[in-house]
Amino acid sequence: MKECPSPVRSRTQQIVQSACALALVGMIWFGADLQAPASARQASAHKAVAPEPVAIYKVDTSQKVLALTFDISWGEKAPGPILDILAQKHVTKATFFLSGPWVSHHVDIAKRIKSMGFEIASHGYMHKNYTEYTDAWIRDQVIRAERSIQDVTGVRPKMIRTPNGDLNHRVITTLTGMHYKVIQWNTDSRDWMNPGVEAIKSRVLTKAVPGDIILMHASDSCKQTHLALPAIIDGLREKGYQFVTVSELLAGAQVQTSVQ
């Protein structure tokens, strides 16, 4: 007569068999993960790393293109002659960084910039150094400027140049967190120093490189920009350069995050 199996022994065997089955599944899954294509594992790792927030000074490109940019924070005498020269020279691509209060107080000029087809970006609200203030203050300033610019021109700016170009990693992080591209410059015309027409022209023509972002101003404190601008435009064209907006520049090449 055969002995009936013990209930305790049967349950023990079932537990052991179940554990072995789970271990086998785990080994199969782990092995499949190890055999996944290296590119897939690298892509997964790449997605996990957020891009470092940066300010943009120029782009790398083999094409002879560059962006003329003009900051405006105050005054009504300088913008008109600069816009007239751009029209006379058939320059249809340039980027204007406008401060919120200036737009609100000079509606007609801001609308003229828009109607001429120039790109509009933000120059903040109060003309103060952002590094000296809190993140909350910075966000408030950017939002106020954004509303002023949009109310007058219908444009919601996507790029910003901080007043005085003042920034640090914290400021850049705050601004990029608001989905703004932070734009600096590679060639400073130094027109804000009023060093003389020849000095402004010579500096731009000797320093400009492909992919450059050139800083100029259309505020009344810069009294020589409009006098140097015709020669700058002519000189750059003689060197084979074409003018584009900052957005077009960024779309066509790899950005540089420092002055070259």
Domain regions of the chain by residue span = 7-48, 55-256
**pTM, whole model, 2 decimals?**
0.80
* pLDDT at res. 255: 52
Residue reference for tokens 């584009």? 244
Task: Give, in order, the Cα–Cα distances in Å from 33 to each of 20, 26, 28.
Answer: 20, 11, 9
Rounded Cα distance, 223 and 79, in Å: 11
Query: How many Å is the Cα radius of gyration of the chain?
Result: 29
Rounded Cα distance, 217 and 159, in Å: 17
Contact 257, 55 (CB under 8 A): yes
Residue reference for tokens 């590679």? 186
Alpha helices by DSSP H, listed for 125-186, are: 135-153, 169-177
Tokens representing 65? 């293109």
* pLDDT at res. 52: 84
* pLDDT at res. 8: 39
* pLDDT at res. 49: 60
* pLDDT at res. 113: 98
Query: Architecture of 55-256 per CATH?
Result: Alpha-Beta Barrel (3.20)
* pLDDT at res. 254: 53
Rounded Cα distance, 224 and 203, in Å: 14
Q: From the first residue on, what is the mean pLDDT of each consecutive set of 10 residues in the chain (260 residues)?
A: 39 44 39 45 50 91 96 97 98 98 98 98 98 98 98 98 97 98 98 98 98 98 98 98 96 60
* pLDDT at res. 201: 98
